[in-house]
Structure 1
């Protein structure tokens, strides 16, 4: 059965390290397709045209980046496959995936990996795991393009290539925030009147994406710092781009969280409050789109 993925192919030492193991443990997979990391899986793709439109836009704004192969792991003691896990240091793969898999696409949240022994093609993935358990590949690959591919039992065809041509410095300030909802209400914080930007308005808990963070990682950190809660973020929810402000804001719905919610950053927010959809239009909000977005969330 043909399956379409968004992938990046590995190069250099990383590709050689994976292929050397495949030659021993999964020669069929070695023959079918190059060493690669899947970014979007077939079951996650709901609207293919929209996915490719997003991929084209993201590739224009993303600079080439490096990924590193790390430890070897397995599912079901090898019976479910053996994989070299990817250390997404920037983390650019996570940022790209969350941008591509905004609704209406699906989101499975598979860890990034390169397959060494696939359960459908390897003659003995469990034996492979018994031999390579505890190993590390410690090899780096530079990603210069993202691919739209189709794979079947015969081989892999590249349907479209998306070179990464973005600048080294991002064109916009990246921000991330969480939309906490409870009982038909959404949580907002009143920014202090002495804040340098957007003083005295109601805003979502969140903030700037720091160097070395993904928007997802920044949202989790900001929720801990500002609210004292630990949120496991699932599928990305919205991405708001405002070129007049030179900013982009990634949003996650947060229906559940751990920890005692409190105003943990009183230097940023005077207070926190919950609001229903009918109360939002009367508030002075940090961005005019918030009324529509938060009404959708509720």
Structure 2
């Protein structure tokens, strides 16, 4: 079974998301300067949702409300490598102001429906997740 990672698609509103908070990595060297969904590893005894809340508090200094999971193509979520996959939830900040505390040197709110989002140099494994998020938001906006 692949190592399970959790990630947060931090949006400005769970009801009507229009912007995504992208985080620029500082390490490892092959990913430094690339953008990603903040998150990390699940610790022993944690549920994926608990791990995501802990990781976002550690990395961004915020408490969040979890929304729906952005389901991936496998039962483990979104493949990151042969050894790891990531489950991603839409999340909304409920307390605090996001700041790059760990692993990132810049945070940026990006319009979900604008070209800028897909033009950012995303970590390759996160790019399909970004596309799925944009597709989901555009379908939700039509409802």
Cα drift, residue 224 of structure 1: 0.3
2:66 aligned residue (209, 221, 233): 233
What does 1:116-195 correspond to in 2, within 5 Å? 171-182=1-12, 184-192=18-26, 194-195=27-28
Return the structure number with greater relative CO, CA threshold 8 A, min gap 6.
2
Aligned partner of 1:283 in structure 2 is 120
- In the TM superposition, residue 219 of structure 1 has moved relative to its aligned partner by 0.5
Q: Tell me if structure 2 keeps the 8 A contact 1:176–1:249.
A: yes
| Alpha-carbon distance in structure 1 between the residues aligned to 2:130 and 2:69 | 19
TM superposition shift of 1:243: 7.1
TM normalised by structure 1 equals: 0.38
Aligned residues: 125
Q: Is the 8 A contact 1:253 1:297 kept in 2?
A: no
Q: CA deviation at 1:241?
A: 3.1
2:101 corresponds in structure 1 to 264
Using a 3 Å threshold, how does the CA distance of structure 1 residues 231 and 244 change in structure 2: closer, same or farther?
closer
Superposed, 1:242-261 pairs within 5 Å as 242=79, 244-261=81-98
Q: Distance in 2 between matches of 1:256 and 1:243?
A: 25
In structure 1, what is the equivalent of residue 140 of structure 2?
A: none
Alpha-carbon deviations, 1:22-62, whole Å to 9, x = none? xxxxxxxxxxxxxxxxxxxxxxxxxxxxxxxxxxxxxxxxx
User: What is residue 294 of structure 1 aligned with on the other side?
Assistant: 133
Q: Which whole-Å CA distance do the structure 2 matches of 1:270 and 1:179 have between them?
A: 18
- Structure of larger gyration radius: 1
2:70–2:133 Cα contact (<8 Å) kept: no
For structure 1, the residue ranges without an aligned partner over 5 or more in a row are: 1-170
Distance 1:297 1:256 in 2: 20
Pick closer, same or farther for the CA change 1:217–1:177 going to 2, 3 Å. Answer: same
Q: Secondary structure at the match of 2:94?
A: coil
Deviations along 1:136-156, whole A, 9 cap, x unmatched? xxxxxxxxxxxxxxxxxxxxx
Q: Which of residues 28, 31, 41 is equivalent to 1:208?
A: 41
Picking from 56, 60, 68, the partner of 1:223 is 56
Q: Deviations over 1:115-140 (max 9, x none)?
A: xxxxxxxxxxxxxxxxxxxxxxxxxx
Gaps of 5+ in 2: 138-143
TM-score (norm 2): 0.75
